[in-house]
Amino acid sequence: IFPGSKDAAGCKATLGVMGGGQLGRMFVHAAQRLGYFTAVLDPDAQSPAGLVSHHHIQTDYNDPAGLAQLADLCQAITTEFENVPAQALQTLAQTRPVAPGAAVVGIAQDRIEEKDHFAACADISGVTCAPYAVIETPAQLQAVLEERADLLPGILKTARMGYDGKGQVRVRTASELAAAWAELGGVACVLEKMLPLTAECSVLVARGWGGQVVSFAPQRNVHVEGILAVTHAYEGNMPLALATSARDAAIAIAQHLGYVGVLCVEFFVVDNGSAHGGLVVNEMAPRPHNSGHYTLDACDASQFDLQVHAMAGLPLPQPRQHSPAIMLNLLGDVWFDASGQQREPDWHSVLSLPGTHLHLYGKLDARVGRKMGHLTITGPDVASVKTVARRVAELLG
Ligand code: ADP
Ligand code: MG
């Protein structure tokens, strides 16, 4: 689907996205830069992507009329939000190319299926996930309480709908585990052993319809209270052997899924001296990812450019990073001072510093913990990027 092409009715090539959050907004920007028209399906009238798209279909994700309208407008459709009902993607796929497809999105939506997939391709990926047990029934809970003391202390995670650390409870003892499962409503969960992490990293892979694969170098991520805070993207951000293993593993995971589109695979690093440098696979996101936002400013093709190319069947460029970068997430917290008073951050001082690239998502109200934007710092060398990043953190602190 080339940007200049028209359909039978004479409408210009239009790309669609399920979900109107910031990832959809950056996708829309990338698609429009190439000359595509865009359509966003999201129920929220003020959604960040809906605000900047040619078309905004304001319905629920599984509204038949909304889905029919999206399919009618678009030559290809993607998703920006992994909790889009897989059934909706299935419906769209009856008449349009949808990438990633409903089956792989369905796997990534469910931690139990996701772990089964990681286990199924462990031989080719070379990585396994943290020790865990599935808890879907009171009987399974009882069995874990009696037989899996090895998983404590651990983290109980809902199998579905978790993100940014939501739907997770840290548990130290059997009685805390039983209470936590009740607190989470007795829904399907996994109990994961708490690992002593030395670092976390992620890898972005893009795969085309014909199986072509390109990837970015792994980025090192720092999370605070389960939410991504900082991404370090430069040579030397982690030992080379670890970066190589992570990249190879992510590609193997995407291949094994027959994935089409941009996939992010998140890893834990534990210092266990194993052959893979202590690499443990955590989870995957069937879409561009917060940890890849630096690619907008530091690479010659961003993760959103690759999403557009992959879904439209254009050749996938192997992206080249031209500048070292640090990405700082801007949560709503930055709009409040220490006494809880709302304030406007000192953007003038921040933007006076060299190599600062501010991205705000157009969200109307700042709330603590809400992702409002991000700031990428690029520079000629890692030392100067780190210096500016420290200064920005002080200004926003
Ligand atoms: P989410 O879907 O909310 O991103 P994750 O499973 O990635 O959920 O967990 C969020 C963060 O919590 C991780 O990035 C990591 O910092 C921490 N975490 C999650 N599981 C473990 C674990 N088994 N051991 C240690 N830390 C963990
Ligand atoms: Mg995560």
Tens digit of each residue's pLDDT (9 = 90 or more) over 142-163: 999 999 999 999 999 999 988 8
pLDDT given at position 397:
87
Residues 337 and 352 in one domain: yes
Percent of the chain with pLDDT over 90: 91
pLDDT in tens, 353-373: 999 999 999 998 999 999 999
Range of the domain at 29: 14-98
Residues 289 and 392 in one domain: yes
Distance separating alpha carbons of residues 293 and 305, to the nearest angstrom: 12
Strand partners, 18: 41, 79
282 in a known ligand binding site: yes
Residue 129 burial by Cβ neighbours in a 10 Å radius (0-12, 13-18, 19+): buried
Residue 282 resides in a domain: yes
Q: Which atom of ligand 1 is nearest to the CA of 130?
A: 23
Region of poorest pLDDT, from 23-27, 104-108, 228-232, 269-273: 269-273
pLDDT given at position 276:
54
pLDDT in tens, 312-337: 999 999 999 999 999 999 999 999 99
Enumerate long-range contacts of 115-120, CB under 8 Å, 24 or more apart: 115/190, 117/253, 117/256, 117/257, 118/253, 118/281, 120/256
pLDDT in tens, 116-126: 999 999 999 99
Best residue among 168, 189, 280 to mutate for probing ligand 1, ranked by most atoms within 8 Å of CB: 168
Q: Which atom of ligand 1 is nearest to the CA of 221?
A: 14
Residues 358 and 267 in one domain: yes
Residues 80 and 180 in one domain: no
Residue 125 resides in a domain: no
- What is the rounded average pLDDT of the residues 334-356? 95
**E-assigned strand segments in the chain:** 14-18, 37-41, 55-57, 76-79, 132-135, 154-158, 168-171, 189-193, 197-207, 213-215, 219-224, 227-233, 261-270, 279-285, 325-331, 356-360, 371-378
160 lines ligand 1 (CB under 6 A): no
Which is more confident, 34 or 166? 34
Residues 181 and 229 in one domain: no
Give residue 165 CA to ligand 1 midpoint distance, Å: 7
Q: Is the predicted pLDDT of residue 205 greater than 60, yes or no? A: yes
- What is the rounded average pLDDT of the residues 177-185? 95
Mean pLDDT of all residues in the chain?
95
Q: Is the predicted pLDDT of residue 108 greater than 70, yes or no? A: yes
- In CATH, what number is assigned to the domain containing residue 163? 3.30.1490.20
Q: Among all chains, which residue has been given the structure tokens 């286990």?
A: 119
Give me 302's structure tokens.
Answer: 């961003």
Q: How far is CA 131 from the centre of its chain?
A: 23
Residue 36 resides in a domain: yes
Minimal-distance CA residue to ligand 1 atom 17: 226
pTM of the complete model: 0.95
Residues 391 and 289 in one domain: yes
Distance separating alpha carbons of residues 108 and 139, to the nearest angstrom: 26
Residues 204 and 178 in one domain: no
pLDDT in tens, 267-305: 999 986 555 568 999 999 999 999 999 999 999 999 999
User: Could you tell me which of 222, 200, 217, 218 has the C-alpha nearest to residue 327?
Assistant: 222
200 lines ligand 1 (CB under 6 A): yes
8 Å CB contact between 397 and 229: no
pLDDT given at position 396:
95
8-state DSSP, 210: T
pLDDT band for position 12 (50/70/90)? Answer: confident
Give residue 71 CA to ligand 1 midpoint distance, Å: 36
The last residue of one of the domains, among 41, 75, 98, is 98
Query: Which numbered ligand comes closest to the C-alpha of 83?
Result: 1
- In CATH, what number is assigned to the domain containing residue 68? 3.40.50.20
User: Could you tell me which of 86, 318, 92, 79 has the C-alpha nearest to residue 216?
Assistant: 318
Residues 373 and 299 in one domain: yes
Residues 266 and 171 in one domain: no
Minimal-distance CA residue to ligand 1 atom 10: 226
Residues 86 and 205 in one domain: no
194 in a known ligand binding site: yes
pLDDT band for position 234 (50/70/90)? Answer: very high
Residue 348 resides in a domain: yes
Region of poorest pLDDT, from 5-9, 68-72, 93-97, 228-232: 5-9
209 lines ligand 1 (CB under 6 A): no
Residues 327 and 347 in one domain: yes
Region of poorest pLDDT, from 81-90, 257-266, 269-278: 269-278
Which is more confident, 81 or 233? 233
Q: Is the predicted pLDDT of residue 11 greater than 80, yes or no? A: no
Residue 152 resides in a domain: yes
pLDDT band for position 5 (50/70/90)? Answer: confident
Distance separating alpha carbons of residues 177 and 184, to the nearest angstrom: 11
pLDDT given at position 277:
67
162 lines ligand 1 (CB under 6 A): yes
Residue 105 resides in a domain: no
Residue 120 resides in a domain: no
Give me 33's structure tokens.
Answer: 């830069």
CB atoms within 10 A of CB 334: 20
Residue 261 resides in a domain: yes
Position 43, amino acid: P
- What is the rounded average pLDDT of the residues 223-234? 95
pLDDT given at position 272:
66
* Total count of domains within the chain: 3
Distance separating alpha carbons of residues 257 and 384, to the nearest angstrom: 40
Residues 94 and 147 in one domain: no
Q: Among all chains, which residue has been given the structure tokens 């670092």?
A: 199
Give residue 332 CA to ligand 1 midpoint distance, Å: 21
115 in a known ligand binding site: no
The last residue of one of the domains, among 175, 193, 211, is 193
8 Å CB contact between 39 and 16: yes
Best residue among 170, 223, 269, 284 to mutate for probing ligand 1, ranked by most atoms within 8 Å of CB: 223
8 Å CB contact between 196 and 297: no
